[in-house]
Structure 1
Amino acid sequence: MSLEPIGVLTILIGLVCLYLGTGALTRGTVTASVLGASSALFIGPANIPPGHVMLGFLALGAMTRRRESVAAIRSLHPNEPGFWFACLAIYGIASAFLMPRVLAGITEIFPLGTTVFDDTGSTVPLAPGSSNLAQSVYMASNLLCFVMIVGVASSRGGFAATLSGLIGYCVANTVFAFADLATYATGTQDLLGFMRNARYTLHTNSEVGGMKRIVGSFTEASVFARSTLGVFGFMGTLWLCGHRSVLTGTVAALSLLLIILSTSSTGLAGAPIVLCILYATAISRLGHGSSARHAAAVVFWAPPLAIAGLLLVLLDPAVATTIRDYVDMAVLDKAGSTSGIERSSWNVVSFQNFLDSWGLGVGLGTARASNFVIALLATTGIPGLFFYSIFAIECFARPRGEARSLDANVAVAARNGALGLLFGDLLVGTVIDQGLFFCALAATAAALRPRRRALRLLQPLGARA
Structure 2
Amino acid sequence: MPTLLGISFMVVALFLTMQGRYSWVLSLGAAVPIGVVLSVGNNGVPVFYFFAIWVIIALLFSKRGSGEPRKLPGKAFLLAFAAWSVFVTAFSPGMFAGIPVLAPFGGIDSQLANPSALTYTASNIAQVAYMILGVGVLFYLGRARGLSRMFPAGALAGLTLLSSARLASIRFGTPFPNHFFDNSTGVSYVEGAADGTRRFRGIFAEPSELAMASLVAAVFFLASAPNLTGKAKFAALCLAGLATINMIESTATSALASVVVFTAIFSGYHCVRFIFLGGKVKYRTFVLVPLALPVVAIFTPSAIASVIDTVTGKTETASYSARTGSDVFSAGVFMDTWGLGAGLGSNRPASFLPMLLSTVGIVGAVLFITACVVLLRRSWAIHEARPAVWALVALMSAKCIASPNLSDPLIWLLLGVLANFVWSQTPVPQQPKILPPHSVRPSHSQS
Judge same fold: TM > 0.5, yes or no: yes
Letter in 2 for 1:363: G
Contact 1:277–1:416 (Cα < 8 Å) also in 2? no
Contact 1:212/1:262 (CA < 8 Å) preserved in 2? no
- In the TM superposition, residue 417 of structure 1 has moved relative to its aligned partner by 0.7
The answer for the alignment partner of 2:353 in structure 1 is 373
Equivalent residue number for residue 416 of structure 2:
443
Letter in 1 for 2:4: P
Deviation of the 1:218 alpha carbon: 0.8
Change (3 A) 1:109 1:302: closer
SS in 1 for 2:388: helix
Opposite residue 411 of structure 2, the aligned amino acid is F
User: How far off its partner does 1:305 sit?
Assistant: 8.1
Q: How does 1:281-292 map to 2 (within 5 A)?
A: none
AA aligned to 2:122 is: S
Structure 1 residue 128, shift from structure 2 partner: 1.8
Structure 1 residues 453 and 109: CA distance shift in structure 2, 3 A = closer
Q: In the alignment, does 2:421 pair up with 1:429?
A: no
Aligned positions of 1:82-101 closer than 5 A:
82-101=75-94
Task: Point out the more displaced range, 363-372 or 164-173.
Answer: 164-173
Distance 1:138 1:240 in 2: 35
Query: Which residue, 173, 177, 182 being the options, matches 2:163?
Result: 177
Structure 1's 65 and 347: CA in aligned 2 closer, same or farther, altered over 3 A? same
Match of 1:295 among 284, 296, 302: 284
Report % sequence identity: 19
Q: CA deviation at 1:44?
A: 5.9
**Cα distance, 1:306–1:368 mapped onto 2, change above 3 Å:** closer
Corresponding residue number in structure 2 for 1:31: 28
Q: Partners in 1 of 2:166 and 2:104 — Cα distance?
A: 28
Distance 1:32 1:19 in 2: 17
> Secondary structure of the equivalent of 1:69?
coil
* Residue aligning to 2:436: none
Match of 1:264 among 252, 265, 287: 252
Gaps of 5+ in 1: 286-291, 315-319, 402-407, 456-465
Q: In terms of mean alpha carbon deviation, does 185-194 or 366-375 score higher? A: 185-194
Q: In the TM superposition, what whole-angstrom CA distance separates every residue of 1:342-365 from its partner, at most 9, and x where no partner exists?
A: 222211221111111111111111
Q: Any idea what SS the aligned residue of 1:41 has? A: strand
Deviation at 1:43, TM superposition (A): 4.8
Q: Which is worse superposed, 369-378 or 337-346?
A: 337-346
Q: Is the 8 A contact 1:372 1:431 kept in 2?
A: yes
Q: Measure, in 1, the Cα distance between the counterparts of 2:36 and 2:383.
A: 34
Report the CA distance shift for 1:109/1:295 in structure 2 as closer, same or farther (over 3 A): same
Match of 1:355 in 2: 335
Given that 1:39 and 1:47 are in contact with CA atoms closer than 8 Å, whether structure 2 keeps it comes out as yes
- Quickly say closer, same or farther: Cα 1:305–1:428, change in 2 above 3 A: closer
On the 8 A contact 2:380/2:389 being kept in 1, the answer is no
Higher relative contact order (CA 8 A, sep 6+): 2
Per mean C-alpha deviation after superposition, the further-off stretch among 123-132 and 436-445 is 123-132
- Structure 2 segments unaligned to the other structure (5+ residues): 275-280, 429-447
Higher helix share: 1
Aligned counterpart for 2:48 among listed residues 29, 34, 51: 51
Alignment of 1:276-425 (within 5 A): 276-277=264-265, 294-295=283-284, 313-314=300-301, 320=302, 324-325=305-306, 328-329=309-310, 331-399=311-379, 408-425=382-399
Larger Rg: 2
TM-score of the two chains, using structure 2 as the length reference: 0.82
Report the 3-state secondary structure (helix = DSSP H, G, I; strand = E; otherwise coil) of the residue aligned with 2:413.
helix
Equivalents in 2 of 1:363, 1:304: separation in Å?
A: 38
Any idea what the Cα deviations from partners look like across 1:131-175, whole Å, max 9, x if unmatched? 1111111111211111111121xx23xx12xx4541122222221
Q: Is the 8 A contact 1:237 1:281 kept in 2?
A: no
In the superposition, relative to structure 1, how do residues 310 and 352 fare at CA in structure 2: closer, same or farther (>3 Å)?
A: closer
Maintained 8 Å contact 2:112/2:325: no
TM-score (norm 1): 0.79
Q: Distance in 1 between matches of 2:112 and 2:53?
A: 37
User: What SS does structure 2 have at the residue aligned with 1:92?
Assistant: helix
Closer, same or farther: CA 277–353 of 1 in aligned 2, 3 Å = closer
Whole-Å Cα distance in 1 between the matches of residues 291 and 418 of structure 2? Answer: 30
